[in-house]
Structure 1
Amino acid sequence: MSSEYIYLHGFASSPNSAKAQYISDRFRECNIKLQIPDLNCGDFSHLTITRQINQVAAEFPPNSAPVTLIGSSLGGLTAAHLGQKYSQVEKLVLLAPAFGFLSHWLPTLGDEKIRRWQQEKYLMVNHYGEGKLLPLSYDFITDAVQYQEENLQRPIPTLILHGKNDEVIPIQASYDFTKLRPWVKLVELDSDHALGNVMAEIWQAIRQFCQLP
Protein backbone atom coordinates (compact mmCIF):
# COMPACT_ATOMS: atom_id res chain seq x y z
CA MET A 1 0.00 0.00 0.00
CA SER A 2 1.58 3.30 -1.04
CA SER A 3 2.15 6.00 1.53
CA GLU A 4 0.15 9.21 1.83
CA TYR A 5 2.30 12.33 2.17
CA ILE A 6 1.51 15.26 4.44
CA TYR A 7 3.63 18.42 4.83
CA LEU A 8 3.53 20.37 8.12
CA HIS A 9 4.62 24.00 7.83
CA GLY A 10 6.44 25.86 10.58
CA PHE A 11 5.40 28.26 13.33
CA ALA A 12 3.83 31.52 12.07
CA SER A 13 4.14 30.22 8.53
CA SER A 14 1.55 28.88 6.07
CA PRO A 15 0.95 26.36 3.26
CA ASN A 16 2.10 29.11 0.88
CA SER A 17 5.65 29.23 2.24
CA ALA A 18 8.42 28.94 -0.33
CA LYS A 19 9.52 25.59 1.10
CA ALA A 20 6.01 24.09 1.13
CA GLN A 21 5.34 25.22 -2.43
CA TYR A 22 8.71 24.02 -3.77
CA ILE A 23 8.30 20.55 -2.25
CA SER A 24 4.65 20.39 -3.38
CA ASP A 25 5.70 21.22 -6.96
CA ARG A 26 8.32 18.45 -6.93
CA PHE A 27 5.74 15.94 -5.65
CA ARG A 28 3.36 17.04 -8.41
CA GLU A 29 6.06 16.34 -10.99
CA CYS A 30 6.18 12.78 -9.60
CA ASN A 31 2.36 12.58 -9.90
CA ILE A 32 2.05 12.25 -6.12
CA LYS A 33 -0.33 14.36 -4.05
CA LEU A 34 1.18 16.20 -1.10
CA GLN A 35 -1.35 17.41 1.45
CA ILE A 36 -0.43 20.71 3.15
CA PRO A 37 -2.96 21.50 5.89
CA ASP A 38 -3.12 25.08 7.16
CA LEU A 39 -2.04 24.66 10.78
CA ASN A 40 -3.17 28.20 11.59
CA CYS A 41 -6.79 27.04 11.21
CA GLY A 42 -7.81 30.66 10.71
CA ASP A 43 -7.10 31.15 14.42
CA PHE A 44 -3.35 31.53 14.99
CA SER A 45 -4.05 33.17 18.37
CA HIS A 46 -5.13 29.82 19.86
CA LEU A 47 -2.47 27.66 18.23
CA THR A 48 -1.10 24.78 20.31
CA ILE A 49 0.96 21.71 19.46
CA THR A 50 -1.94 19.56 20.70
CA ARG A 51 -4.28 21.27 18.23
CA GLN A 52 -1.80 20.69 15.40
CA ILE A 53 -1.46 16.99 16.30
CA ASN A 54 -5.24 16.49 16.38
CA GLN A 55 -5.74 18.42 13.15
CA VAL A 56 -3.14 16.44 11.20
CA ALA A 57 -4.26 13.08 12.63
CA ALA A 58 -7.77 13.86 11.37
CA GLU A 59 -6.28 14.04 7.85
CA PHE A 60 -4.86 10.50 8.01
CA PRO A 61 -6.50 8.10 5.55
CA PRO A 62 -9.26 6.09 7.24
CA ASN A 63 -8.11 2.76 5.80
CA SER A 64 -4.91 2.65 7.92
CA ALA A 65 -2.84 3.38 4.81
CA PRO A 66 0.71 4.35 5.82
CA VAL A 67 1.55 8.03 6.18
CA THR A 68 4.83 9.83 5.61
CA LEU A 69 5.12 13.19 7.36
CA ILE A 70 7.42 15.98 6.21
CA GLY A 71 7.65 18.70 8.84
CA SER A 72 9.46 22.04 8.95
CA SER A 73 10.65 23.55 12.26
CA LEU A 74 7.67 23.43 14.69
CA GLY A 75 5.92 21.30 12.05
CA GLY A 76 8.87 18.91 12.34
CA LEU A 77 8.48 18.69 16.10
CA THR A 78 4.73 18.09 15.64
CA ALA A 79 5.44 15.39 13.04
CA ALA A 80 7.80 13.61 15.44
CA HIS A 81 5.13 13.51 18.17
CA LEU A 82 2.52 12.29 15.66
CA GLY A 83 4.93 9.49 14.75
CA GLN A 84 5.24 8.53 18.39
CA LYS A 85 1.47 8.48 18.89
CA TYR A 86 0.25 6.88 15.65
CA SER A 87 1.58 3.60 14.23
CA GLN A 88 0.15 4.66 10.84
CA VAL A 89 3.13 7.01 10.48
CA GLU A 90 5.80 4.96 8.70
CA LYS A 91 8.43 7.62 7.86
CA LEU A 92 9.44 11.09 9.00
CA VAL A 93 11.35 13.81 7.17
CA LEU A 94 12.19 16.64 9.57
CA LEU A 95 13.52 19.95 8.23
CA ALA A 96 15.33 21.91 10.98
CA PRO A 97 12.98 20.36 13.57
CA ALA A 98 12.25 22.58 16.57
CA PHE A 99 13.63 20.25 19.23
CA GLY A 100 13.97 22.07 22.55
CA PHE A 101 12.47 25.17 20.97
CA LEU A 102 11.19 26.63 24.26
CA SER A 103 14.74 26.67 25.63
CA HIS A 104 15.89 28.46 22.44
CA TRP A 105 12.97 30.82 21.92
CA LEU A 106 11.95 31.98 25.40
CA PRO A 107 15.38 33.43 26.33
CA THR A 108 15.19 35.65 23.23
CA LEU A 109 11.99 37.18 24.61
CA GLY A 110 13.44 37.93 28.05
CA ASP A 111 11.91 37.43 31.50
CA GLU A 112 9.94 40.70 31.53
CA LYS A 113 8.20 40.02 28.22
CA ILE A 114 7.35 36.44 29.27
CA ARG A 115 5.95 37.71 32.58
CA ARG A 116 3.81 40.24 30.74
CA TRP A 117 2.63 37.56 28.31
CA GLN A 118 1.58 35.38 31.23
CA GLN A 119 -0.32 38.24 32.88
CA GLU A 120 -1.96 39.66 29.75
CA LYS A 121 -2.57 36.21 28.21
CA TYR A 122 -1.52 37.29 24.69
CA LEU A 123 1.75 38.27 23.01
CA MET A 124 2.01 39.96 19.61
CA VAL A 125 4.03 37.68 17.33
CA ASN A 126 5.34 38.35 13.83
CA HIS A 127 3.38 36.01 11.55
CA TYR A 128 5.48 35.55 8.41
CA GLY A 129 2.67 33.84 6.51
CA GLU A 130 0.28 36.74 7.10
CA GLY A 131 2.94 39.44 6.96
CA LYS A 132 1.72 41.11 10.16
CA LEU A 133 1.72 40.91 13.95
CA LEU A 134 -0.88 38.60 15.48
CA PRO A 135 -1.70 37.84 19.13
CA LEU A 136 -0.71 34.41 20.47
CA SER A 137 -2.25 32.98 23.64
CA TYR A 138 0.04 31.97 26.53
CA ASP A 139 -1.71 28.58 26.32
CA PHE A 140 0.74 27.87 23.50
CA ILE A 141 3.54 27.73 26.11
CA THR A 142 1.67 25.78 28.78
CA ASP A 143 0.68 23.20 26.15
CA ALA A 144 4.16 22.96 24.58
CA VAL A 145 5.85 22.08 27.88
CA GLN A 146 4.40 18.55 27.79
CA TYR A 147 6.02 17.71 24.42
CA GLN A 148 9.50 16.58 25.43
CA GLU A 149 11.96 14.88 23.11
CA GLU A 150 12.75 12.10 25.58
CA ASN A 151 9.23 10.76 24.95
CA LEU A 152 10.05 10.15 21.28
CA GLN A 153 11.19 6.52 21.39
CA ARG A 154 9.29 4.78 18.60
CA PRO A 155 11.86 3.56 16.03
CA ILE A 156 10.45 5.18 12.87
CA PRO A 157 12.80 5.59 9.89
CA THR A 158 13.60 9.30 10.18
CA LEU A 159 15.60 11.72 8.04
CA ILE A 160 16.63 15.05 9.58
CA LEU A 161 17.93 17.83 7.33
CA HIS A 162 19.41 20.69 9.35
CA GLY A 163 21.47 23.77 8.47
CA LYS A 164 24.88 24.11 10.11
CA ASN A 165 24.30 27.86 10.53
CA ASP A 166 20.78 27.62 11.95
CA GLU A 167 20.33 30.70 14.14
CA VAL A 168 16.88 29.68 15.47
CA ILE A 169 17.28 26.00 16.40
CA PRO A 170 21.00 25.12 16.67
CA ILE A 171 21.97 21.96 14.78
CA GLN A 172 23.20 20.63 18.14
CA ALA A 173 19.55 19.97 19.02
CA SER A 174 19.35 17.51 16.12
CA TYR A 175 22.74 15.97 16.99
CA ASP A 176 21.51 15.33 20.53
CA PHE A 177 18.28 13.78 19.25
CA THR A 178 20.08 11.53 16.75
CA LYS A 179 22.77 10.33 19.17
CA LEU A 180 20.53 7.94 21.09
CA ARG A 181 18.30 6.91 18.17
CA PRO A 182 20.01 4.66 15.58
CA TRP A 183 16.92 4.81 13.33
CA VAL A 184 17.48 8.55 12.71
CA LYS A 185 19.79 9.86 9.97
CA LEU A 186 20.99 13.47 10.22
CA VAL A 187 22.19 15.34 7.13
CA GLU A 188 24.04 18.62 7.70
CA LEU A 189 23.41 21.33 5.14
CA ASP A 190 25.31 24.53 4.45
CA SER A 191 22.38 26.74 5.35
CA ASP A 192 20.44 28.60 8.04
CA HIS A 193 17.01 27.90 9.59
CA ALA A 194 15.09 28.80 6.42
CA LEU A 195 17.07 26.29 4.28
CA GLY A 196 16.16 28.45 1.29
CA ASN A 197 19.46 28.02 -0.56
CA VAL A 198 19.49 24.19 -0.42
CA MET A 199 16.01 23.29 -1.65
CA ALA A 200 17.34 21.13 -4.52
CA GLU A 201 19.50 19.15 -2.07
CA ILE A 202 16.53 18.75 0.26
CA TRP A 203 14.36 17.44 -2.55
CA GLN A 204 17.00 14.90 -3.65
CA ALA A 205 17.31 13.65 -0.05
CA ILE A 206 13.51 13.36 0.32
CA ARG A 207 13.23 11.59 -3.02
CA GLN A 208 15.88 9.04 -2.11
CA PHE A 209 14.63 8.48 1.44
CA CYS A 210 11.00 8.05 0.35
CA GLN A 211 12.00 6.06 -2.76
CA LEU A 212 9.97 8.33 -5.04
CA PRO A 213 10.04 7.89 -8.83
Structure 2
Amino acid sequence: MQYIYLHGFASSPNSNKARYIEQRFAENKINLIIPDLNNNDFSHLTITRQVKQVTAYFDNAELPVTLIGSSLGGLTAAHLGEKHPVVQRLVLLAPAFGFLSHWLPKLGEEKIQRWEKEKYLMVYHYREEREVPLSYDFLTDANQYSEDGLQRSIPTLILHGKNDEVIPIEASRDFAGQRPWVKLVELDSDHSLGNVFPQIWREIHSFCQFEV
Protein backbone atom coordinates (compact mmCIF):
# COMPACT_ATOMS: atom_id res chain seq x y z
CA MET A 1 0.00 0.00 0.00
CA GLN A 2 1.21 3.50 -0.87
CA TYR A 3 0.20 6.30 1.50
CA ILE A 4 -0.17 9.93 0.44
CA TYR A 5 -1.12 12.85 2.71
CA LEU A 6 -2.80 15.95 1.24
CA HIS A 7 -2.54 19.06 3.40
CA GLY A 8 -5.20 21.74 3.68
CA PHE A 9 -5.84 25.11 2.09
CA ALA A 10 -3.15 27.75 2.72
CA SER A 11 -1.18 25.13 4.65
CA SER A 12 1.87 23.02 3.81
CA PRO A 13 3.65 19.70 4.39
CA ASN A 14 5.18 21.36 7.46
CA SER A 15 1.88 21.74 9.30
CA ASN A 16 1.75 20.30 12.81
CA LYS A 17 -0.81 17.71 11.75
CA ALA A 18 1.16 16.56 8.72
CA ARG A 19 4.37 16.26 10.71
CA TYR A 20 2.71 14.39 13.56
CA ILE A 21 1.14 11.83 11.22
CA GLU A 22 4.38 11.51 9.25
CA GLN A 23 6.27 10.75 12.47
CA ARG A 24 3.75 8.07 13.46
CA PHE A 25 4.09 6.47 10.03
CA ALA A 26 7.88 6.54 10.35
CA GLU A 27 7.67 4.82 13.73
CA ASN A 28 5.75 2.04 11.98
CA LYS A 29 8.39 1.95 9.24
CA ILE A 30 5.88 3.07 6.63
CA ASN A 31 6.67 5.78 4.07
CA LEU A 32 4.19 8.65 3.87
CA ILE A 33 4.35 10.89 0.80
CA ILE A 34 3.38 14.52 1.51
CA PRO A 35 3.36 16.62 -1.68
CA ASP A 36 3.45 20.39 -1.39
CA LEU A 37 0.14 21.36 -2.97
CA ASN A 38 1.20 25.01 -3.05
CA ASN A 39 3.47 23.89 -5.90
CA ASN A 40 5.57 27.06 -5.51
CA ASP A 41 2.59 29.11 -6.71
CA PHE A 42 -0.20 29.40 -4.14
CA SER A 43 -1.63 32.40 -5.98
CA HIS A 44 -2.79 30.15 -8.84
CA LEU A 45 -3.96 27.23 -6.74
CA THR A 46 -7.04 25.34 -7.93
CA ILE A 47 -8.55 22.03 -6.92
CA THR A 48 -8.03 20.83 -10.50
CA ARG A 49 -4.31 21.60 -10.19
CA GLN A 50 -4.16 19.65 -6.94
CA VAL A 51 -5.92 16.69 -8.57
CA LYS A 52 -3.47 16.68 -11.48
CA GLN A 53 -0.46 17.02 -9.16
CA VAL A 54 -1.49 14.05 -7.02
CA THR A 55 -2.59 11.96 -10.00
CA ALA A 56 1.05 11.97 -11.16
CA TYR A 57 1.84 9.67 -8.23
CA PHE A 58 -0.61 7.12 -9.62
CA ASP A 59 1.14 6.75 -12.99
CA ASN A 60 2.39 3.18 -13.34
CA ALA A 61 1.52 2.62 -9.68
CA GLU A 62 2.34 -0.93 -8.64
CA LEU A 63 0.67 -0.60 -5.23
CA PRO A 64 -2.84 0.42 -4.20
CA VAL A 65 -3.12 3.85 -2.60
CA THR A 66 -4.52 5.15 0.66
CA LEU A 67 -5.12 8.90 0.60
CA ILE A 68 -5.19 10.91 3.82
CA GLY A 69 -6.56 14.40 3.25
CA SER A 70 -7.02 17.35 5.59
CA SER A 71 -9.75 19.95 4.96
CA LEU A 72 -9.46 21.00 1.29
CA GLY A 73 -6.98 18.16 0.89
CA GLY A 74 -9.74 15.87 2.12
CA LEU A 75 -12.13 17.13 -0.54
CA THR A 76 -9.41 16.66 -3.16
CA ALA A 77 -8.73 13.13 -1.88
CA ALA A 78 -12.41 12.23 -2.13
CA HIS A 79 -12.58 13.33 -5.77
CA LEU A 80 -9.37 11.46 -6.57
CA GLY A 81 -10.85 8.34 -4.99
CA GLU A 82 -13.95 8.67 -7.12
CA LYS A 83 -12.01 8.66 -10.40
CA HIS A 84 -9.03 6.41 -9.73
CA PRO A 85 -9.52 2.71 -8.87
CA VAL A 86 -5.93 2.57 -7.58
CA VAL A 87 -7.20 4.56 -4.57
CA GLN A 88 -8.57 1.87 -2.28
CA ARG A 89 -8.93 3.71 1.04
CA LEU A 90 -9.64 7.26 2.18
CA VAL A 91 -8.97 8.98 5.50
CA LEU A 92 -10.56 12.43 5.56
CA LEU A 93 -9.74 14.88 8.35
CA ALA A 94 -12.40 17.60 8.64
CA PRO A 95 -13.00 17.35 4.88
CA ALA A 96 -14.11 20.58 3.21
CA PHE A 97 -17.44 19.32 1.90
CA GLY A 98 -19.55 22.26 0.72
CA PHE A 99 -16.73 24.60 1.64
CA LEU A 100 -17.79 27.38 -0.74
CA SER A 101 -21.19 27.54 0.95
CA HIS A 102 -19.41 27.98 4.29
CA TRP A 103 -16.52 30.22 3.21
CA LEU A 104 -18.13 32.67 0.81
CA PRO A 105 -20.75 34.03 3.24
CA LYS A 106 -17.91 34.87 5.63
CA LEU A 107 -16.21 36.88 2.88
CA GLY A 108 -19.38 38.80 2.07
CA GLU A 109 -20.83 39.77 -1.29
CA GLU A 110 -18.87 43.02 -1.58
CA LYS A 111 -15.53 41.29 -1.06
CA ILE A 112 -16.42 38.54 -3.53
CA GLN A 113 -17.38 41.11 -6.18
CA ARG A 114 -14.11 42.95 -5.60
CA TRP A 115 -12.24 39.64 -5.91
CA GLU A 116 -13.87 38.99 -9.28
CA LYS A 117 -13.13 42.52 -10.50
CA GLU A 118 -9.55 42.72 -9.24
CA LYS A 119 -8.81 39.02 -10.02
CA TYR A 120 -6.97 38.41 -6.73
CA LEU A 121 -7.95 38.15 -3.07
CA MET A 122 -5.47 38.46 -0.22
CA VAL A 123 -5.58 35.25 1.85
CA TYR A 124 -3.61 34.49 5.00
CA HIS A 125 -1.17 31.65 4.36
CA TYR A 126 -0.15 29.77 7.49
CA ARG A 127 3.26 28.63 6.26
CA GLU A 128 4.17 32.05 4.91
CA GLU A 129 2.70 33.75 7.99
CA ARG A 130 1.46 36.56 5.79
CA GLU A 131 -1.29 37.36 3.33
CA VAL A 132 -0.79 36.05 -0.21
CA PRO A 133 -2.89 36.87 -3.32
CA LEU A 134 -5.19 34.11 -4.57
CA SER A 135 -6.57 34.16 -8.11
CA TYR A 136 -10.34 34.30 -8.72
CA ASP A 137 -9.79 31.18 -10.83
CA PHE A 138 -9.73 29.26 -7.55
CA LEU A 139 -13.38 30.12 -7.00
CA THR A 140 -14.58 29.40 -10.53
CA ASP A 141 -12.71 26.08 -10.55
CA ALA A 142 -14.02 25.05 -7.13
CA ASN A 143 -17.60 25.39 -8.35
CA GLN A 144 -17.05 22.23 -10.41
CA TYR A 145 -16.45 20.08 -7.34
CA SER A 146 -19.52 18.86 -5.51
CA GLU A 147 -19.67 15.91 -3.17
CA ASP A 148 -23.03 14.90 -4.65
CA GLY A 149 -21.20 12.98 -7.37
CA LEU A 150 -19.00 11.06 -4.96
CA GLN A 151 -20.67 7.67 -5.11
CA ARG A 152 -17.84 5.15 -5.41
CA SER A 153 -18.09 2.57 -2.64
CA ILE A 154 -14.59 3.01 -1.23
CA PRO A 155 -13.76 2.33 2.45
CA THR A 156 -13.66 5.78 4.02
CA LEU A 157 -12.87 7.06 7.52
CA ILE A 158 -13.87 10.62 8.38
CA LEU A 159 -12.55 12.31 11.53
CA HIS A 160 -14.32 15.61 12.23
CA GLY A 161 -14.45 17.95 15.22
CA LYS A 162 -17.86 18.61 16.72
CA ASN A 163 -16.85 22.24 17.31
CA ASP A 164 -15.47 22.85 13.81
CA GLU A 165 -15.82 26.57 13.12
CA VAL A 166 -14.78 26.34 9.44
CA ILE A 167 -16.62 23.29 8.07
CA PRO A 168 -19.58 22.37 10.30
CA ILE A 169 -19.66 18.73 11.30
CA GLU A 170 -23.10 18.51 9.70
CA ALA A 171 -21.34 18.45 6.33
CA SER A 172 -19.63 15.17 7.23
CA ARG A 173 -22.75 13.83 8.92
CA ASP A 174 -24.75 14.41 5.74
CA PHE A 175 -22.04 12.82 3.59
CA ALA A 176 -21.64 9.74 5.78
CA GLY A 177 -25.37 9.36 6.33
CA GLN A 178 -25.95 8.76 2.61
CA ARG A 179 -22.98 6.41 2.14
CA PRO A 180 -22.89 3.18 4.17
CA TRP A 181 -19.22 2.60 3.32
CA VAL A 182 -18.20 5.72 5.27
CA LYS A 183 -17.34 5.63 8.98
CA LEU A 184 -17.62 9.00 10.75
CA VAL A 185 -15.83 9.55 14.05
CA GLU A 186 -16.88 12.74 15.84
CA LEU A 187 -14.19 14.32 17.99
CA ASP A 188 -14.25 16.94 20.75
CA SER A 189 -12.23 19.43 18.73
CA ASP A 190 -12.32 22.30 16.24
CA HIS A 191 -11.23 22.45 12.60
CA SER A 192 -7.53 22.14 13.42
CA LEU A 193 -8.06 18.90 15.39
CA GLY A 194 -4.97 20.05 17.25
CA ASN A 195 -5.98 18.64 20.65
CA VAL A 196 -6.81 15.12 19.42
CA PHE A 197 -3.73 14.05 17.42
CA PRO A 198 -3.21 10.83 19.44
CA GLN A 199 -6.85 9.85 18.91
CA ILE A 200 -6.56 10.60 15.20
CA TRP A 201 -3.55 8.31 14.99
CA ARG A 202 -5.33 5.49 16.84
CA GLU A 203 -8.24 5.71 14.40
CA ILE A 204 -5.93 5.76 11.36
CA HIS A 205 -3.89 2.87 12.75
CA SER A 206 -7.00 0.76 13.30
CA PHE A 207 -8.63 1.67 9.97
CA CYS A 208 -5.50 0.97 7.94
CA GLN A 209 -4.87 -2.26 9.87
CA PHE A 210 -1.18 -1.64 10.40
CA GLU A 211 0.75 -4.51 11.91
CA VAL A 212 1.99 -3.80 15.42
Which consecutive unaligned segments of at least 5 residues does structure 1 have? none
Q: Distance in 1 between matches of 2:62 and 2:176?
A: 28
Instruction: Tell me the distance in 2 between the aligned counterparts of 1:15 and 1:121.
Output: 27
Aligned length: 211
The corresponding residue for 1:84 is 82
Match of 1:202 among 193, 196, 200: 200
Contact 1:46 1:137 in 2 (8 A): yes
Q: Secondary structure at the match of 2:5?
A: strand
TM alignment of 1:65-104, pairs within 5 A: 65-104=63-102
Amino acid at match of 1:206: I
Who is 1:134 aligned against?
A: 132
Pair 83,167 (structure 1): closer, same or farther in 2 beyond 3 Å: same
Q: In the alignment, which residue of structure 2 is the partner of 1:27?
A: 25
* Structure-2 separation of matches of 1:22 and 1:40: 20
Alpha-carbon offset, residue 129 of structure 1: 1.5
Task: Report which stretch shifted further, 60-69 or 132-141.
Answer: 60-69
Q: Which of 164, 168, 189 is the aligned partner of 2:187?
A: 189
Q: Which amino acid aligns with 2:179?
A: R
The residue number in structure 1 matching 2:16 is: 18
Q: Provide the C-alpha distance between the structure 2 equivalents of 1:129 and 1:201, rounded to a whole number of angstroms.
A: 25
- Could you give the per-residue CA deviations for residues 89-125 of structure 1, whole angstroms, max 9, x where no partner exists? 0000000000000000000000000000000000000
Structure 1 residue 130: Cα displacement: 1.2
Please list the CA deviations of residues 2-34 of structure 1 after superposition, one character each: whole Å capped at 9, or x if unmatched: x10000000000000000000000000000000
Partner of 1:40: 38
Give the percent of matched residue pairs that are identical in Structure 1 and Structure 2: 72
- TM-fit CA distance, 1:59: 1.5
| Aligned partner of residue 185 in structure 2, secondary structure | strand
CA distance in 2: counterparts of 1:55 and 1:171, whole angstroms: 28
SS of residue matched to 2:175: helix
- RMSD after superposition: 0.7
TM-score normalised to structure 2 length: 0.98
2:50 aligns to what SS in structure 1?
helix
**Segments of 4+ moved more than 2 angstroms:** none
Match of 2:46, as an amino acid? Answer: T
Partner of 1:177: 175
Q: 5+ residue gaps in structure 2?
A: none
TM-score (norm 1): 0.98
